[in-house]
Structure 1
C-alpha cells in the first residue's frame, strides 16, 4: 500500500537522522553557541589584556558563528571583572581574559568576592609576555644604571606606575626596588593605558609593562626603553638589552593572558572554546602578531592552564611576602 511505503520511508529517514546525530558531540545537539558570547576584560581598553582578547575575537566569531563581544570591566586589580565572570550563568555565554594579577590576588586580598578554586575554571593559556621597562624621555636619567643612581640620591623622587595594585607590573617593580635598594613611589592605575599616558606626560617616570604598548610608543620617541625583564632579548625590540645583560642577575618578570569561564560550564563547551582559542593562537597570522607584541604564543588545554594558575599563585605569593607588598 502507498501509505505503508511512505511510512517505511519516513522510518528509514528518521533512523538515519538519529544515527547521524549520535556521531555529533553532545554540545552540538544543543547548538552551542546559540547566542552572542561575552568576553569580560577586567581592565580598560587598549592594554595588554584587552589586546589579547581582541586578538582572538574575530577568529572566534568566524569559527563559532556568533558575535563575540568584549566587555571591559576595570577596577580593583581585576576583581570587578573577574567577579562578573564568576557570577555569570555557566551556560557558555560568558568567558573572561585574565593576566598574572589573577593569581596574585589570592594572596593580596584577605577575602575575595569569589573563590578562584570553586567559582572559576581555566580554559586556555593564550600567551606569556616578558615585561619591558620604560622611562619618560625627559627624565633626568637615560638608562637603568642612571635611574638607580638618581633614585638612591633622591629617595621618593621617582614614581612608577602600574595597571593596579598587585599587578605583574607592580610586583616586578617591587622586586626591582628590593634588588637595587631604592625607594620609589607606586602610583596604581585602572589599567595599563592610563599609566602609559601619564608616563608620556611626565606624571610618572618609570613603568614596567607588557611590550605591546611600549614598543610602538618607543619607536615614536614618546618613551625610552631601558631593559627587558626576561632571559633573552625580544625579537620585536632587539636593541633593548635584558636586565641580566646589564648585570642584574636573576631579575625577571612577566605577565600572561589566559581565558577563564564560570565553574560549572559544561566541560565539552570549555574544551571546544579551548581548542578554538589554541587554533587561533597557533595560526601563522596570530603568531606573527604576537611576535610583534613581544609575546610568546601558548594555547594550552584547560587542565594545563589550571595547573599553570596553581603554580603562578604559589610563585606570586612568595614574591608578595618577600617584598612585603601591601595594598594601598
Structure 2
C-alpha cells in the first residue's frame, strides 16, 4: 500500500514546490494592495521628514495606494530604524532615514537592538543633503574667514546646536574643530528643527544646518557663511565651501534615502527603486529638494549601499578620534 501512494506524493510535492516558487512573483503582481507606511526616524520638520513627504505624495499616485508618513524620532534614528527592521518584510513598511543611521550609529552605540546592515535593505537614495554653516545675525562676523578667526580667538565661548550626538551637523562641526584647532560648546537636540529655533532665537551662536534654515537665510534672519560640501550649492553659488576657505578635503555631505526590512521581495524593492528614481527626476520634486539645499540622488540599491559603506569608514574614524559617544 505504501508504494502505491509514492508516485502521487511525488506529484503533490512537485506541485507544492512549484507553487512556492511562484509566490514571490505573485506577491509582486498583487503588490501594493493596501496603504504603505513610511516611518521617518527623526521628528517633523527636519530634512528626512520633508523628503519623505515630498516623495510620498507622487509615490502614492503612481502606486495607486496611500503613502502614510509616520515620525518616530529618538536615539539618533535608532527608534524608527528598529521599528522598520522588525516590521513584516512585505513591502508595506519603509524607512526614510539619513544614511547616518547605517553608517554612523554602529560606531556610536556599543549595543543596538537591531543590525542596520543585516536587518534592513537599501531601497532608493533620495538626496545628497548638504550642511550649511549659519550664524545668528548678531555674531560680529560677515564671512567664513572672519568666523574662523573669531572662534579661534574665543575658545569655548561660542555654542552650536545639532540634531544630536553623531548627527551629520554635529560631525561637520567636529571636522571643522579638528582642522582649525578650535573649541565650541555642543548643545544636542532631538532633531534639527528645535535646534534651528534656538539659533533663530539667539540661544545658539552657529549651526551646520541640513537645509531647513535656508528660508531664514533668504529672509535675513541668519547669516550663511559657508557650505560643508565638496562643491558649492547650486542654490547659493556665491557661498564658498569650507574646502575653499582652507579646510582641505572638507566634506560633510550625507545621503538620505529609503530602506525596507530585510527579506522584502526583490521585485518590490526594484519597483520602488524604479518609481522613486523617476519621481526624483520630476521638476516639482527637484524643486522641493533644492529648496532645502539638497541635491536629488537617484541611484541603484547597491550604489546606495556602497555610499553608506564609504561614509561609515570616514565618519567612524572621526568618531573614534574625537571619542564621540551617543546621547
Same fold by TM (over 0.5)? yes
Listed one character per residue, the Cα deviations across residues 98-141 of structure 1 (whole Å, up to 9, x for unaligned) are 11321100111111110112211100111112211000111233
In structure 2, the residue matched to 1:284 is 283
1:142 aligns with 2:142: yes
Structure 2-normalised TM-score? 0.88
In structure 2, the residue matched to 1:27 is 27
Secondary structure of the corresponding residue to residue 149 of structure 1? helix
1:304 aligns with 2:270: no
Give the drift of 1:28. 4.3
C-alpha RMSD over aligned residues: 1.8
Alignment partners' CA distance in 1, 2:238 and 2:309: 34
In structure 1, the residue matched to 2:219 is 220
Alignment partners' CA distance in 1, 2:172 and 2:320: 13
In structure 2, the residue matched to 1:58 is 57
Alignment partners' CA distance in 2, 1:145 and 1:323: 24
Listed one character per residue, the Cα deviations across residues 27-53 of structure 1 (whole Å, up to 9, x for unaligned) are 344x21111111010111111111111
State how 1:71-110 maps to structure 2 within 5 Å. 71-102=70-101, 103-110=103-110
Contact kept, 8 Å, 1:164 with 1:190, in 2: the verdict is: yes
1:111 aligns with 2:107: no
Secondary structure of the corresponding residue to residue 238 of structure 1? coil
Contact kept, 8 Å, 1:174 with 1:325, in 2: the verdict is: no
Give the drift of 1:321. 1.7
Worse overlay, 145-154 or 79-88: 145-154
Secondary structure of the corresponding residue to residue 76 of structure 2? helix
Alignment partners' CA distance in 2, 1:231 and 1:117: 27
Alignment partners' CA distance in 1, 2:303 and 2:251: 23
Alignment partners' CA distance in 2, 1:284 and 1:154: 45
Contact kept, 8 Å, 2:165 with 2:324, in 1: the verdict is: no
Contact kept, 8 Å, 2:130 with 2:293, in 1: the verdict is: yes
Give the drift of 1:164. 1.3
Contact kept, 8 Å, 1:59 with 1:280, in 2: the verdict is: yes
Worse overlay, 56-65 or 202-211: 202-211
Contact kept, 8 Å, 1:282 with 1:298, in 2: the verdict is: no
Contact kept, 8 Å, 1:100 with 1:167, in 2: the verdict is: no
Give the drift of 1:254. 1.0
1:179 aligns with 2:182: no
In structure 2, the residue matched to 1:165 is 165
Give the drift of 1:235. 1.6
Give the drift of 1:74. 0.9
1:128 aligns with 2:128: yes
Give the drift of 1:25. 5.1
Alignment partners' CA distance in 1, 2:268 and 2:122: 12
Secondary structure of the corresponding residue to residue 82 of structure 1? helix
Listed one character per residue, the Cα deviations across residues 41-98 of structure 1 (whole Å, up to 9, x for unaligned) are 0111111111111111111110111110110011111111111111111111100011
Secondary structure of the corresponding residue to residue 146 of structure 1? helix
State how 1:196-235 maps to structure 2 within 5 Å. 196-211=196-211, 213-235=212-234
1:105/1:66 Cα in 2 relative to 1: closer, same or farther (>3 Å)?
A: same
State how 1:315-326 maps to structure 2 within 5 Å. 315-326=314-325
Contact kept, 8 Å, 1:215 with 1:237, in 2: the verdict is: no
- In structure 1, the gaps of 5 or more residues are 1-21
Secondary structure of the corresponding residue to residue 117 of structure 1? helix
In structure 2, the residue matched to 1:243 is 242
Give the drift of 1:239. 2.8
Secondary structure of the corresponding residue to residue 241 of structure 1? coil
Contact kept, 8 Å, 1:136 with 1:222, in 2: the verdict is: yes
Alignment partners' CA distance in 2, 1:54 and 1:206: 28
1:311/1:246 Cα in 2 relative to 1: closer, same or farther (>3 Å)?
A: closer
Give the drift of 1:247. 2.5
Give the drift of 1:157. 1.2
